[in-house]
Structure 1
Amino acid sequence: MKNILITGGAGFIGSNLALKLIDKGYRITVLDNLSKQIHGDDPENTSPLFKSIKDKVSFIHGTVTSRKDWVKALENQHAIIHLAAETGTGQSMYCIEKYTEVNIQGTAIMLDILANTKNSIEKIVVASSRSIYGEGKYKHPELGIVYPDHRKEKDMLEGNFELTYGDNQILELLPTDETSKIHPSSVYGITKQNQEQIIMTVCPTIGIAPVAFRYQNVYGPGQSLSNPYTGILSIFSTQIRNNNGIQIFEDGKESRDFVFIDDVVKATILGLEKDEANGEIFNVGTGVAINVLEVANSLITAYGISVPVTITSRFRLGDIRHNFADLSKIKKLLGFEPKVFFKEGIQKFSAWVLQQEIQEDKLSVSLDEMKKKGLFK
Structure 2
Amino acid sequence: MAKFLVTGGAGFIGSHLAGELLSGGHSVRVLDNLITGLAENIPAGVEFIEGDLRDPGTVAAATDGCEVVLHQAAIPSVPRSISEPRPSHEANIDGTFNVLVAARDAGVRRVIYAASSSAYGDTLVLPKSEEMPPNPLSPYALQKQVGETYCQLFTRLFGLETVSIRYFNVFGPRQHPSSPYSGVLSLFIKAALAGTAPTIYGDGEQTRDFTFIDNVVDGVLQAIDAPQAAGEVINVANGGRISLNEAWAALGAIIGPLPAPTYGSPRAGDVRDSQADITKAARLLGYRPRKTFEEGLRETVEWARKAV
Runs of at least 5 residues in structure 2 that lack an aligned partner in the other structure = none
2:92 to 93, 103, 106: 103
- Does the 8 Å CA contact 2:151/2:231 hold for their aligned counterparts? no
Q: Is the 8 A contact 1:4 1:77 kept in 2?
A: yes
Question: Is 1:63 the equivalent of 2:29?
Answer: no
Runs of 4+ off more than 3 Å: 112-115
Letter in 1 for 2:225: E
How far did 1:94 drift?
1.2
Q: Which amino acid aligns with 1:15?
A: S
Q: Which runs of 5+ in 1 are unaligned?
A: 139-173, 358-377
Describe the shift of the 1:38–1:78 C-alpha distance in structure 2 as closer, same or farther (beyond 3 A): closer
2:266 pairs with one of 305, 310, 315: 315
| Residue identity opposite 1:136 in structure 2 | T
Q: Secondary structure at the match of 1:244?
A: coil
Distance 1:274 1:59 in 2: 27
1:136 aligns with 2:123: yes
TM-score by length of 1: 0.78
Which residue is equivalent to 1:220?
Answer: 172
Q: Is the 8 A contact 1:254 1:291 kept in 2?
A: yes
CA contact (8 A) 2:93 2:143 kept: yes
Is 1:92 paired with 2:81? yes
Q: Aligned partner of 1:131: which letter?
A: S
Distance in 2 between residues matched to 1:92 and 1:180, nearest whole Å: 23
Match of 1:346 among 297, 301, 305: 297
Which of 198, 202, 205 is 1:253 aligned to?
205
Aligned 1:62-81 pairs, distance under 5 A? 62-81=51-70
**Pairs within 5 Å for 1:44-193:** 44=39, 47=40, 49-50=41-42, 53=43, 55-115=44-104, 117=105, 119-138=106-125, 174-193=126-145
Name the residue aligned to 1:291. 243
- 1:21-32 superposed matches below 5 A: 21-32=21-32
Return the match for 2:157 from 183, 205, 222: 205
Output the TM-score relative to the length of structure 2: 0.95
Q: In the aligned structure 2, how far is the partner of 1:66 from the partner of 1:343?
A: 41
Q: If you compute each CA radius of gyration, which structure gives the higher value, 1 or 2?
A: 1
Letter in 1 for 2:119: I
Opposite residue 247 of structure 2, the aligned amino acid is V
> RMSD of the alignment, in Å?
1.6
Residue matched to 1:331: 282
Deviation at 1:304, TM superposition (A): 2.2
Aligned pair count reads 308
From the superposition, tell whether residues 270 and 250 of structure 1 become closer, same or farther in structure 2 (CA, over 3 Å): same
How big is the shift at 1:38?
4.6
Distance across 1 between alignment mates of 2:100 and 2:152: 11
Contact 2:199 2:264 (8 Å CA) reproduced: no
Aligned to 1:370: none
User: Alpha-carbon deviation of 1:302?
Assistant: 1.8
State the identity %: 33
Contact 1:264 1:284 in 2 (8 A): yes
